[in-house]
């Protein structure tokens, strides 16, 4: 019946690269041999629509079954013969179709519109454009292209069961206009308001106050990383700020009208607009509830992308989410993706007179209780626990089914605690082993952020007590012939929840999340990753650039000045010079943190009047008594390992040339600062030109790479602080050496190698930089 | 009249025995029947050292003229002297070198010699610091010569200033400091602390290049030097003597001045160190308890500073000048007179306490490789005839053996420990696989030449110096040694002497004979 009804027909599909769309395309190819497809696909910036179809759709493991069954040659032929690609975009009026595209649309017997922004935290205006205006845009394009009063075709729109709003009780399969308590608001005003809010939010994001706040956030994260990186970061923060504002505005508006969020609200208004604009085109609206992994087809457990329930389940299994709001006897309305596809295709085969609604939902006919689901999840993870960093099984928390407010405030409290600790730690000048703790903290912080966003996003859904009636759906299902039921599933009563959750859904979720399901093998995994990284850095055609201070040596300009200044004076004076510098240290540190160039120029003025020749005479003693004793042997070994591997090594430092000259032979090239001298060979205290600091360091790296015949991808940068970020970011590979708190966080996020290099043991930690004692 | 050394057999009445333990001490009770080798007491020193020097310069031994008759106004004179590795610890001022050199310079001045150069005979050791040079030479000599560039330190990597003197009949290359070779007279001023020092080794090694030194500083030579403290049974010395003959035949005129010291090693406040334990009086006990308790509470780097600032009240026991070999035979006699003790029969186990200092960590850290070398190189080889411990026996040595390094003085040691010892501890493999790359490494050469770093190859020599002991011993245990570091050296560590002996018994059998070599001061065993 289904096969014959759709035989020889063409289905036009939007949203084919999505979760539902992918399953739909696969099912048509597999079960309806006489049915053809036209897929509306938006070309990417660097990829054609056809390329995207190949990459984002047909390469998905959804098609593995067909490939196995048919062999890859037949699979390619079938796709080539039966699937046409129309370039276009549901966000544009007329869908942006070219002539060929319009012809394809005109010849399509059914349109399945499944393109939507499914994220519950979409920005308000975006949700309006896509969910509210999108379906009608497709409908109008269809009407215009088809222009055939005899056969107006058929339009199947995929909506959501949650258009019913945060109501309690039965939700029937009717137009929203026919339902009680439906807020009858003019859609046009909502569209205008959302667009106006976008404009005003964009404007207020550029207000000086907002920008100042964003700047201080960026500064706190990056430190003195230089103007270019800082401004880039601020701009990124501003975009995020706008997004957050628009999401919050959408949610507020939706909740004021009785929907859990902007997603449900825009979907609801979209349905209504579509109903009023359909003209004489028969319209089927399919409203799935929460779509989850496949029950049967293409294979049990197939899922695409990380969807709504999965992150929550994983957070729970990882022990991050101790609780999730919900009513234990409430119904969790979940529906496997293949059942939704079945409903859509069967609806497509049965065009209604005018408009018909179907709930593809399990809640009324085969309900899964929240308590039941939690029981399955607990059972599954007690038998198959996830493992933490150090390889111990994570215990499953006991759920208490609290109200949403409770969970939120608990999460807020822990988050505040962790945030405060992180802030305090990032202000302390800690390095190396002190910051191990900070790594754990950062991980917990991210986990908590995620967990609380889930509660915020999905809490309203879990608390939703509406029952989605499915009479129309069951009637539609009864139209399937017996043999068709073997290939097309759509009846929610087919689901055995226990077996589905335990043997199909959860294993698939865990596999998808790449969670650690085995205790660690005896060789620690982290080390092996680091060793691999190290080995890769030491191979190939490379240029390695090293910062000097705190990367190769535990030295700084103040220390080295103190050493050189005290080297030439007698006993008592030595102490006086060192002591006065120590007293000045906090002030100098503050200046350094604010702007490294200013600090260096300010500090270097102290060398004014010193005899260069005298300083150069001190070089051997300086090498032994200061530079080498402050060096990191592993750092020196790394430079030498690069040289042994035939790499070009360069040191880029803001130190003065005479203060680092003895280290120069370690590298192929050393870039340091030259201080000018007067006619008597005395230093002027002035350093001409731009200092190799901040973004200048990034530019320098690029220049050096070019002049030495390296691609930028072949460069490696080693540095210790966020002020070196421009160089680290510019390089093909970055290594954070003894990173400070901020850089450590960044390095972890970017997956950079982190090295902890320390001075050779044997000398005390307190080391007054006093020279002339050898 | 100082008492000679002797061997004590431990009985019920024997008090616990003092062991050096790096920058601290241990008192250990050895099993009854163990033997303890006590050094002779310090010989009486020469009272008028200056007069003895004058006398030696005027009455050279062997085929040699008095110094004054060798000097003239137009000549090129070079004075080379032993570096900071001697004596240990550094000698209280005035250092004997400064006295000898002053006397030589005075005679040179009398003869109107203007072209004088002083060279520290470093071989591949680190350059001395200004403070160390001032100490060894005295301020007068330093201030007179250093500012005018007449005081230099031997630079084995300064190829233009090295010259090939010749080759021995065994093909051993002799490449020496050009200034020294091209001088009309080369005066060498030595301190002969132990019997391996001096003789032809002074010039043939002290002023040579790596390419020359490698002919005797290698595993094969060291395994055949039994011991390298016994010049007549040491292949190391035979090679140096062959080179000495080449140098002589090439016409290089050497006036060798050798000095010997007694074993008065520690100043008054450490007097208990030189006494036999049962002779400690109340004051000795008091100062032992005070110093060892204080050291326990002192961080290691401060304890090191305290010990490194010790200046030894050595007395000079002899000064001999003249032809190298004749001088050296007399010197050896004096050294043996001070240090040699007869021992009957070898033991299954030899125990040692390793002190805070060895030749290569003056003003620096005794790193694990130096710990190895001090025990298996120096102390193990303090014998004539036969080793104190039998073939297949066990050496137990006491030292904290912490993984500490001086990155300025011993940069290549750090890498040797990390990169070489992590792969192998076999001297032959180490020599063939790694030596060349360390020796030719430009960074190490830079640090050797411009800083105060030992040459890149130096840790290899340390390893070779223990090769004979490694070959001979059935096991090595470091008492109180850091376990991980000790394992890296290829040894076991034990936390108590009882544990160490128990471990040793599994190697040498259940009823072992034990010999303890008591130090300080230095002692050399004549084993029959």
Q: How confident is the model at residue A432 (pLDDT cuts 50, 70, 90)?
A: very low
Residue A764 at interface with chain B, using a CB cutoff of 8 Å: yes
Q: Is the peptide bond before B89 cis (omega within 30 degrees of 0)?
A: yes
- Longest distance between any two alpha carbons in chain B, whole Å: 71
Contact (CB, 8 A) for A695 and A229: yes
User: In the beta sheet, which residues pair with residue B353?
Assistant: B398
State yes or no: pLDDT of A481 exceeds 90.
no
Q: What is the pTM for the complete model shown?
A: 0.72
In sequence order, the 6+-apart residues with CB closer than 8 A to the CB of A584 are none
Q: Round to whole Å and give the CA distance between A123 and B98.
A: 87
Cβ contact, residue pair B406, A640, below 8 Å: no
Task: Give the one of B127, B404, B408 whose C-beta lies nearest to A629's C-beta.
Answer: B408
Q: What pLDDT, on a 0 to 100 scale, did the predictor assign at position A447?
A: 67
Q: What are phi and psi of A448, to 5 degrees?
A: -65, -40
- In the predicted model, is pLDDT for residue B452 greater than 70? yes
> Which residues of B are less than 8 Å from A762 in CB distance?
300-301, 365, 367, 402, 404-406
Q: pLDDT grade, residue A460 (50/70/90)? A: low
Whether residue A216 is predicted with pLDDT greater than 90 in this model: the reply is: no
Please check whether residue A624 is in contact with residue B408, taking contact to mean a CB–CB distance below 8 angstroms. yes
Give the residue from chain B lying closest to A765, CA to CA.
Answer: B301
Pairing of strands B316-322, B185-189: unpaired
> B408–A620: do the CB atoms touch at under 8 Å?
no
The Cα angle at residue B447 between residues B441 and B453, in degrees rounded to 5: 110
Instruction: Supply A343's token pair.
Output: 């409903």
Q: Which two tokens stand for residue A224?
A: 């003195």
**Shortest Cα–Cα distance, A690 to chain B (Å):** 30
Ranges of beta strands (E only) in A547-647 are: none
- Please tell me the predicted confidence (pLDDT) of residue A525: 47
This model of the complex carries an ipTM of: 0.91
| CB atoms inside a 10 Å sphere around CB B305 | 14
Q: With an 8 Å Cβ cutoff, are A760 and B407 in contact?
A: yes
- Residue B481 distance to chain A (closest CA, Å): 15
Segment A579-604 mean pLDDT:
76
Provide Rg for chain A, Cα atoms. 33
Q: In this predicted model, which residue has the larger pLDDT, A743 or A416? A: A743
Instruction: For chain B, list residues whose CB is within 8 angstroms of any CB belonging to chain A.
Output: 127, 129-131, 299-302, 365, 367, 402-409, 411, 414-415, 418-419, 441-443, 446-447, 450-453
Three-state secondary structure call for residue A190: helix
- pLDDT of res. B526: 96
Could you tell me how far CA B212 lies from the centroid of its own chain? Answer: 20
Given a contact cutoff of 8 angstroms between Cβ atoms, the answer to whether A51 and A85 are in contact is no
**Which chain A residues are within 8 Å of B84, Cβ to Cβ?**
none
Q: Is residue A632 within 8 Å of A525, Cβ to Cβ? A: no
Q: Indicate which of B407, B438, B452 best probes the interface with A, i.e. most A CBs within 10 Å of its own CB.
A: B407
DSSP one-letter code for A206: T
Domain B6-42+340-527: give its CATH code. 3.90.226.30
Contact in structure between A555 and A549 (CB atoms under 8 Å): yes
Whole-number pLDDT of residue A523: 45
pLDDT digits 0-9 by tens, B332-391? 999 999 999 999 999 999 999 999 999 999 999 999 999 999 999 999 999 999 999 999
Q: Which residues from chain A sit within 8 angstroms of residue B302, using beta carbons?
A: 764
Task: Give, as one character, the DSSP assignment of residue A114.
Answer: -
The CATH class, in words, for A533-755 is: alpha beta
Query: A553 has which bridge partners?
Result: A549, A631
Which is more confidently placed, B319 or A150?
B319
Please indicate if any CB of chain B lies within 8 Å of the CB of A412.
no
* Position B408 confidence tier, pLDDT thresholds 50, 70, 90: very high
CA distance B127 to chain A (A): 10
A119 — alpha (psi -120 to 50), left (phi > 0) or beta?
A: beta
- Widest Cα–Cα separation across chain A: 108
- Relative to beta strand A154-158, strand A110-113 is parallel
Task: Find out whether B380 and A737 touch, Cβ atoms under 8 Å.
Answer: no
Nearest residue in A to B300, CA atom: A762
Do B300 and A631 lie within an 8 Å CB cutoff? no
Q: Which residues 591-650 on chain A approach chain B with CB closer than 8 angstroms? A: 619-621, 623-625, 628-629, 631, 633-634, 636-637, 640
Beta bridge partners of A467: A170
Higher-confidence residue of B131 and A507: namely B131
Report the C-alpha gap between B140 and B106 in whole angstroms.
Answer: 12
The reply to whether A766 touches chain B by the CB within 8 Å rule is no
The predicted pLDDT at position A512 comes to 74
Cβ separation of A665 and B411 shorter than 8 Å?
A: no
pLDDT value of position A520 = 53
Say if residues B229 and B383 touch (Cβ distance below 8 Å): yes
Residues sharing a CB contact under 8 Å with residue A65, sequence separation 6 or more, in sequence order = A26, A30, A298, A299
Q: Please report, for chain A, the start and end positions of each structural domain, with discontinuous segments joined by +.
A: 533-755
For residue A624, the distance in angstroms to the closest alpha carbon of chain B comes to 5
Per-residue pLDDT at A196 exceeds 50 = yes
Chain B: give the shortest CA distance to residue A766, in Å. Answer: 11
The helix (run of H) or strand (run of E) holding residue B364 is none
Contact by Cβ (8 Å): B398, B440: no
pLDDT tens, position by position, B142-185: 999 999 999 999 999 999 999 999 999 999 999 999 999 999 99
**Which secondary-structure segment (H or E) carries A763?**
none
Q: What is the spatial distance between Cα A581 and Cα A430, in angstroms, rounded to a whole number?
A: 21
CB A159 within 8 A of CB A359: no
- A637 with B130: Cβ contact below 8 A: no
β partners of residue B177 = B162
How far apart CA A86 and CA A96 sit, in angstroms, is 10
SS3 at position B193: coil
Per CB-CB distance under 8 Å, the chain A contacts of B453 are: 624, 628
Share of residues in chain B with pLDDT > 70 (%)? 100
The packing angle between helices A436-462 and A741-750, to 10°, is 60
Whole-number Cα distances in Å, B339 to A26, B17, B511: 95, 20, 30
Provide the pLDDT confidence category of residue A522 given band limits of 50, 70 and 90.
very low
Inter-chain residue contact A621 with B129, CB threshold 8 Å: yes
Length of chain B: 528
Q: Of A116, A132, A146, which Cα lies nearest the Cα of A276? A: A132
Contact list in A for residue B131 (CB cut-off 8 A) is 773-774
Cβ atoms of A140 and A185 closer than 8 Å = no
Give the tens place of pLDDT for each residue, B46-68.
999 999 999 999 999 999 999 99
CB contact under 8 Å between B407 and A620, yes or no, is no
- Nearest CB neighbour to B405, from listed A625, A760, A774: A760
> Does A754 score more than 60 pLDDT?
yes
Residues in chain A with CB shorter than 8 Å from the CB of B418 are 633-634, 637
Instruction: Give me the phi and psi of A594, to 5 degrees please.
Output: -75, -55
Q: Does residue B94 have a cis bond before it (omega within 30 degrees)?
A: yes
SS3 A265: helix
Tell me whether residues A628 and B446 touch, CB distance under 8 A.
no
Alpha carbons B233 and B387: distance in angstroms, whole number: 13
Token pair listed for A167: 């109501």
Among A218-232, A432-446, B195-209, B368-382, where is mean pLDDT lowest? A432-446
B contacts of A640 (beta carbons < 8 Å): 415, 441, 443
For the stretch B453-508, pLDDT in tens is 999 999 999 999 999 999 999 999 999 999 999 999 999 999 999 999 999 999 99
Alpha-carbon distance A336 to A492, whole Å? 9
Strand B383-384 and strand B347-355: pairing? unpaired
| A760 with B129: Cβ contact below 8 A | no
CA distance A651 to A701: 10
Specify the higher pLDDT residue, A548 or B269. Answer: A548
Whether residues A623 and B451 touch (CB distance < 8 A) is answered with: yes
> What pLDDT sits at residue B277?
92
Count of CB atoms situated within 10 Å of the CB of A756: 15
What lies within 8 Å, CB to CB, of A724 at 6+ separation is A547, A697, A717, A743
CB of B174 within 8 A of CB of B245? no
Q: Give the separation between CA A380 and CA A323, rounded to whole angstroms.
A: 17
Cβ pair B450:A631 closer than 8 A: no
A:660-699 residues touching chain B, CB 8 A cutoff: 662, 665-666
Residue A50: how many CB atoms within 10 A of its CB? Answer: 13
Provide the CATH topology of domain B49-261: Rossmann fold (3.40.50)
B-chain residues near A774 (CB < 8 A) = 129-131, 452
Interval A630-683: pLDDT, tens = 899 999 999 999 999 999 999 999 888 988 999 999 999 999 998 999 988 888
pLDDT value for A464: 67
Whole-number percent of chain A with pLDDT over 90: 25
- Residue with structure tokens 């840790």? B459
Distance from CA of A311 to the nearest CA of B (A): 45
Flag if B414 and A633 touch (Cβ within 8 Å). Answer: yes
Residues of B in contact with A631 (CB under 8 A): 407
Cβ-based neighbours of B82, under 8 Å, separated by 6 or more: B97, B121, B189, B190, B191, B197, B202, B206
Domain boundaries, chain B: 6-42+340-527, 49-261
Residue of B160, B151, B64, B143 lying closest to B116 (CA atoms): B151
| Rounded CA separation B354/A196 (Å) | 84
């Amino acid at each position: 019946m289904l096969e014959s009804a759709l035989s020889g027909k063409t289905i036009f599909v939007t949203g084919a690269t999505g979760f539902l769309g992918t399953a739909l395309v696969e099912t048509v190819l597999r079960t309806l041999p006489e049915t053809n497809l036209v897929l509306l696909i938006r070309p990417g910036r660097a990829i054609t629509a056809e390329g995207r179809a190949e990459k984002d759709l047909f390469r998905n493991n959804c098609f593995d079954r067909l490939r196995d069954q048919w062999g890859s040659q037949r699979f390619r032929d079938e796709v080539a013969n039966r699937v046409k690609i129309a370039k276009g975009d549901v966000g544009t009026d007329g869908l942006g179709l070219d002539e060929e595209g319009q012809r394809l649309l005109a010849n399509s017997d059914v349109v399945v519109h499944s393109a939507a922004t499914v994220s519950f935290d979409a920005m308000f205006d975006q949700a309006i454009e896509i969910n509210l205006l999108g379906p009608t845009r497709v409908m109008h394009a269809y009407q215009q292209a088809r222009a055939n009063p005899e056969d107006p075709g058929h339009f199947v729109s995929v909506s959501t069961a949650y258009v019913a709003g945060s109501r309690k009780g039965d939700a029937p399969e009717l137009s929203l206009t026919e339902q009680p308590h439906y807020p009858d608001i003019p859609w046009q005003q909502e569209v205008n308001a959302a667009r106006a809010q976008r404009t005003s939010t964009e404007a207020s994001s550029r207000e000086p106050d907002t920008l100042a706040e964003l700047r201080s956030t960026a500064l706190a994260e990056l430190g003195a990383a230089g103007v270019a990186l800082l401004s880039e970061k601020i701009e990124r923060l501003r975009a995020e700020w706008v997004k957050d504002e628009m999401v919050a505005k959408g949610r507020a508006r939706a909740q004021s009208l009785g929907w859990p969020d902007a997603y449900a609200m825009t979907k609801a208004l979209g349905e209504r607009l579509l109903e009023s604009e359909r003209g004489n085109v028969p319209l089927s609206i399919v409203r799935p509830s929460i779509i989850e992994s496949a029950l049967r087809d293409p294979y049990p457990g197939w899922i695409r992308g990380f969807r709504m329930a999965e992150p929550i389940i994983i957070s729970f299994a990882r022990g991050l989410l101790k609780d999730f709001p919900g009513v234990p006897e409430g119904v969790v309305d979940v529906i496997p993706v293949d059942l939704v596809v079945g409903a859509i295709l069967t609806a497509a085969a049965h065009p209604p007179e005018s408009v018909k609604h179907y709930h593809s939902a399990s809640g009324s006919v085969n309900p899964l209780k929240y308590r039941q689901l939690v029981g399955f999840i607990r059972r599954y993870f007690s038998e198959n626990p996830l493992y933490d960093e150090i390889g111990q099984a994570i215990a499953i928390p006991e759920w208490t089914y609290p109200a949403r407010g409770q969970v939120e405030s608990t999460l807020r409290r822990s988050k505040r605690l962790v945030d405060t600790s992180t802030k305090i730690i990032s202000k302390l000048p800690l390095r190396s082993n002190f910051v191990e703790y900070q790594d754990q903290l950062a991980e917990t912080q991210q986990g908590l952020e995620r967990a609380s966003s889930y509660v915020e996003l999905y809490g309203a859904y879990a608390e939703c007590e509406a029952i989605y009636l499915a009479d129309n759906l069951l009637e539609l299902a009864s139209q399937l012939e017996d043999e068709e039921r073997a290939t097309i599933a759509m009846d929610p009563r087919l689901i055995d929840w226990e077996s589905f959750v335990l043997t199909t859904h959860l294993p698939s979720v865990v596999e998808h999340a790449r969670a650690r399901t085995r205790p660690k093998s005896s060789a620690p995994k982290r080390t092996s990753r680091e060793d691999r990284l190290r080995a890769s850095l030491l191979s190939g055609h490379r240029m390695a650039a090293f910062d000097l201070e705190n990367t190769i040596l535990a030295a700084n300009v103040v220390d080295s000045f103190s050493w050189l200044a005290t080297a030439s004076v007698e006993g008592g004076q030595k102490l006086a010079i060192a002591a006065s510098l120590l007293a000045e240290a906090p002030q100098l540190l503050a200046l350094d943190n604010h702007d490294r160039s200013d600090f260096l120029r300010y500090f270097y003025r102290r060398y004014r009047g010193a005899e260069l020749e005298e300083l150069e005479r001190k070089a051997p003693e300086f090498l032994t008594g200061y530079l080498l004793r402050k060096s990191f042997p592993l750092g020196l070994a790394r430079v030498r390992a690069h040289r042994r591997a035939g790499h070009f090594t360069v040191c880029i430092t803001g130190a003065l040339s005479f203060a680092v000259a003895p280290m120069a032979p370690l590298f192929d090239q050393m870039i340091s600062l030259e201080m000018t001298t007067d006619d008597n060979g005395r230093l002027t205290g002035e350093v001409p030109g731009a200092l190799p600091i901040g973004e200048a360091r990034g530019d320098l790296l690029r220049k050096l790479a070019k002049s030495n015949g390296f691609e930028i991808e072949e460069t490696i940068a080693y540095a210790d602080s966020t002020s070196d970020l421009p160089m680290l970011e510019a390089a093909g590979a970055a290594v954070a050496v003894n990173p400070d708190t901020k850089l450590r966080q960044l390095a972890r996020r970017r997956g950079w190698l982190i090295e902890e290099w320390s001075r050779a043991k044997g000398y005390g930690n307190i080391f007054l930089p006093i020279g002339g004692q050898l | 009249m100082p008492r000679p050394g002797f061997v004590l057999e431990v009985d019920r009445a024997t008090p616990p025995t003092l062991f050096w333990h790096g920058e601290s001490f241990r008192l250990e009770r050895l099993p009854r029947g163990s033997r303890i080798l006590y050094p002779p007491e310090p010989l009486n020193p020469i009272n008028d050292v200056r007069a003895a020097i004058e006398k030696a310069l005027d009455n050279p031994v062997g085929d040699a003229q008095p110094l004054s008759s060798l000097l003239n106004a137009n000549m090129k004179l070079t004075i080379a002297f032993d570096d900071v590795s001697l004596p240990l610890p550094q000698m209280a001022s005035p250092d004997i070198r400064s006295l000898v050199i002053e006397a030589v310079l005075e005679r040179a001045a009398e003869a109107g010699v203007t072209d004088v150069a002083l060279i520290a005979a470093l071989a591949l050791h680190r350059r001395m610091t200004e403070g160390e040079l001032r100490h060894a030479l005295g301020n007068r000599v330093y201030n007179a010569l250093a500012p005018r560039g007449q005081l230099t330190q031997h630079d084995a990597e300064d190829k233009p200033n090295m010259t090939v003197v010749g080759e021995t009949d065994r093909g051993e290359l002799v490449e020496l400091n050009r200034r020294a070779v091209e001088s009309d007279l080369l005066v060498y001023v030595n301190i002969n602390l132990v019997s391996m020092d001096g003789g032809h080794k002074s010039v043939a090694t002290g002023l040579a290049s790596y390419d020359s030194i490698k002919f005797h500083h290698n595993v094969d030579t060291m395994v055949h030097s039994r011991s390298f403290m016994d010049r007549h049974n040491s292949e190391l010395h035979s090679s140096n003597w062959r080179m000495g003959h080449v140098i002589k035949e090439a016409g290089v005129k050497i006036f060798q001045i050798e000095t010997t010291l007694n074993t008065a090693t520690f100043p008054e406040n450490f007097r208990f160190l030189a006494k036999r334990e049962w002779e400690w009086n109340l004051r000795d006990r008091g100062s032992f308890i005070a110093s060892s308790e204080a050291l326990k509470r002192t961080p290691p780097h401060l304890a090191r500073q305290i010990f490194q600032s010790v200046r030894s009240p050595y007395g000079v026991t002899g000064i001999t000048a003249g032809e190298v070999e004749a001088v050296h035979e007399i010197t050896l006699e004096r050294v043996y007179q001070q240090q040699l003790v007869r021992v009957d029969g070898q033991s299954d186990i030899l125990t040692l306490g390793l002190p805070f200092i060895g030749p290569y960590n003056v003003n620096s850290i005794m790193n694990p490789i130096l710990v190895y070398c001090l025990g298996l190189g120096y102390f193990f080889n303090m014998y004539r005839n036969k080793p104190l411990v039998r073939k297949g026996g066990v050496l137990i040595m006491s030292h904290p053996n912490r993984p500490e390094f001086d990155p300025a003085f011993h940069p290549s040691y750090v890498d040797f420990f990390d990169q070489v010892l992590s792969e192998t501890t076999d001297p032959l493999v180490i020599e063939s696989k790694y030596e060349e790359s360390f020796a030719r490494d430009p960074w190490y050469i830079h640090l050797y030449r411009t800083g105060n770093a030992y040459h890149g190859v130096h840790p290899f020599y340390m390893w070779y110096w223990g090769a004979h002991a490694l070959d001979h011993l059935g096991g090595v245990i470091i008492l109180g040694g850091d376990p991980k570091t000790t394992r890296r050296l290829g040894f076991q560590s034990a936390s108590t002497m009882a544990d160490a002996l128990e471990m040793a018994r599994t190697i040498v059998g259940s009823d072992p004979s034990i010999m303890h070599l008591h130090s300080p001061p230095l002692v050399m065993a004549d084993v029959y």
